[in-house]
Amino acid sequence: MDLWLAPHDARIRSLRNPRERESLFLGWHESPFGRCAGLSDGTHLLALRFGKEEEVSEELCGEWPGIALTESPQATSMVAAVFDHPLQVPVMATGTPFQLTVWEYLRRSGNASTMTYGEVARAIGRPNAARAVGQAVGANPLAVAVPCHRVVSKGKLTGYRWGLDRKKALLAWELSRRDPLEMPF
C-alpha cells in the first residue's frame, strides 16, 4: 500500500528521528538507464535516484540527517522490482498536499502515456496550475516509481531531473513494453 504523507505526519517525524530510527536501508541496482539507488524503511520505497554512488549517498544522507544508511539486499530487490512491476513496490512519498496530489495522480496513471503539465493540472482539478505541476514533477523523490518522466511540455520534451537523454530512454523503453493493441494511435 502506498502512503502519501505531509512532512509533519507522525510517521515521517518518527522515521526522521535518529532516537527512534537508527537506520534506513539502501539498495543499488544497475538499471537499463544507469546506476540507481533506492532508500527503504523495510516496507516502503522512500526514494529512488539515478546517479553515482558517492553523490547519491551524500544527497540521501543530507535528506536523512543522523540516520545511518545500511545497504540491504531487500532494498536492492525493491529497486530492481520498480523496473519490472513499479506498482507492486509500495512507496512512501512526503511532500506538500499539492505535490502529493500530482505524484499520486502520476503513480495511478499507469498506462505509460505521456501527458502535458496542463493536462495533469486539469486532471487534478487545478487547471491554472501547470507551472506548479512542473515544480512538483521536478521535486519527485521517486524516479520511475512515480513516473514524472511521462510529463512533457506541449509538443516537446523538456527537462528531467536525471537528464533529458534518460527521459527519452525511459519513454522509449516503456513504449517498447506496451501491448501493441493498447497503443495510443
Give the residue numbers annotated as catalytic, written as ranges.
Answer: 148
* Separation CA 101–CA 117 (nearest Å): 13
Could you tell me which of 33, 101, 45 has the C-alpha nearest to residue 74? Answer: 45
* Separation CA 82–CA 80 (nearest Å): 5
